[in-house]
Amino acid sequence: MKRLTILLLAATLAGSALSAVPVPVPVPAAANPAAPATAPVRYEAEDAPATVTASGGLNLDSLTFGDDGSAATDWSVAMVESTMARYSPSTVGGWSYPVGLYLYGQYLVYQRTHDARYLDYIKGYVDRFVDGSGNIGQSFNNLDSMQAGRLLNILHHETGQARYQKAAQKVRNRLNSYPRTADGGFWHSTSDSRRSQLWADGVYMVNPFLVEYGKEFGDSTYTDNEATRQLTVYGGHLQVANGLLKHAFDESRDAGWSDPKTGLAPEHWCRAIGWYSMAIVNVLDAVPAGHPRRAELLRLLRKLAAGIEKYQDPGTGRWFQVVDKGSHSDNWTETSCSSMFTFALSRSVQQGYIDGHYAEVARRGYQGVLAKVELGGDGRTDLTDISIGTNVGNYGYYIKRDRKTNDFHGLGAFLIMNEQLRAR
């Protein structure tokens, strides 16, 4: 009876792109060196610590609950443990932005828990691509490939090993010759099919890396100026009257999706806006208060926050795949962007960038995302309704994108969000 009650309570809580990504290969938990047979899982309530079972699942019999019946589970730890049980550092996937996003989220959990296994796992992944001399076999000919560079900054900070600086410097130096629009915006990719295009996704792929690189390696004069420039250029092209950003802009107007007058893509795709929202907050957190572009970044963010609030689904607290068309019967609420918006609003309130009433918008978003967390038959966490990587398209294209469970776009965004809101 006790187990049934716990299962029902857990169920109650659960109820409350761009470029090809290498597909990760699952490994049995027992064969995964990063997932020991029994490992502690941290909880808000420490009086009855839970464990991970030998199969890598959560032991439901040891879950604890608060006086109000709410689960005290540390969902960040549960999600990291579940993912580490599913994949080893060698099978989690290739060098890519979704894996990089997830592992950045795992690093945030490491910073709080100080569980060395979490950092070792990140290092095991990165060391597949960076040799002992700091060589990294990446050309960095598109912005997507630069996002995982954040892990290079992190590992240099944590280990002091010069090879990570050398690898990170290759990303930094690539920008010296990387193609730009006439007003200085980095193209999404150097390929012919992406010429002259700015995708909102791209600001997250390079700018958080840049400001963190500048801080770690004493290059902030350049990196702060470049990151703020990119955000203002992209925002100037992509943000429209309702506060939201269109997915992309084509300076040449050659792309089939671009409006011949404005160069803009037709739709407000949610995760593209989510990438921008997180990037602008990360950059504002990093640049000095007196930076000359700070006021413009705050203006862009405040206009965006108003648009995000306007289109929040009142029923679920989440946001729709095509953000401004929630009334369409075939539209659906997407988990990764909902996590991104929730993080951006909560952090912006905390930092004083936007009005305090947005904390309630973030709270509703947080509850909405938690409703997409489930416990699978194996006892591990599952995060549902995550859009796969996506090109630029029309309404029908976005709506028909596959909705995956445990896609790294969603897992990484969830961890970033949960580490911001779990104790608030």
Residue pair 268/244 in contact (Cβ under 8 Å)? The answer is yes
Strands 248-250 and 197-199: antiparallel
Q: φ and ψ at 206, to 5 degrees?
A: -125, -35
Which residue matches tokens 């990093």?
Answer: 286
Residue type, 369: V
Question: Which of 74, 115, 144, 201 is an active site residue?
Answer: 201
Written as one string, the DSSP assignment of 286-340 is HS-TT-TTHHHHHHHHHHHHHHHHHT--TTTS-EESBTT-TTSTT--EEHHHHHH
Expressed in percent and rounded to 5, the helix, strand and coil fractions of the chain are 50, 10, 40
Instruction: Say which residues have a Cβ less than 8 Å from residue 110's Cβ, sequence separation at least 6.
Output: 118, 119, 122
Tell which residue, 245, 213, 202, 208, has the closest CA to residue 227: 208
Structure tokens of 326? 């929630």
The span from the CA of 267 to the CA of 392, in Å, is: 9
Structure tokens of 365? 């978003």
The span from the CA of 77 to the CA of 40, in Å, is: 10
Q: φ and ψ at 366, to 5 degrees?
A: -60, -45
Longest Cα–Cα distance in the chain: 67
Tell me if residue 201 is catalytic. Answer: yes
Written as one string, the DSSP assignment of 186-238 is BPSBSSGGGTTEEETTHHHHHHHHHHHHHHHHT-HHHHHHHHHHHHHHHHHHH
Catalytic site residues? 201
